[in-house]
Amino acid sequence: MNQHNYMAKSPLLRSFGYAFKGFKAAYTERNFKLHLVSASLAIITGFISQLSVVQWCIILICIAGVLTLELINTAIEHLVNLVSPEYNETAGKVKDISAAAVLCFSIASFIIALIIFIPRLYTLYFDPLYACQG
């Protein structure tokens, strides 16, 4: 049995393939790209500000939460469009509520990032004692 047949028949590998197809589909969405850019900026800022392990864990949980909610929101939007292609007030509310969930977690994540990054960056760039140690 060659490797290609094994991969084609493996339910685990197939499920990963479907998940990656989902990422590819989500990548076409403007908001998902915006969240990826924000995540990249947070990661770069994390390296610059020399986060602790706990701070990294908090930032990564925030990033994963926002991206996960955006994936769920995108799936809900596509499903609603499939079952209700014409305008429907209830369908609109479903889409609005799922978007609000993303917004809520995004705002909380942004506040958490400010709480973590501002003191670290201030110390790194403006504290003369810290600068002398480097």
Residue 42 CA to residue 109 CA, distance in Å, equals: 10
Query: Do the beta carbons of residue 70 and residue 35 sit within 8 Å?
Result: yes
Residue 62's CB is within 10 A of a number of other CB atoms, namely: 22
> Which residues does the annotation mark as catalytic?
70
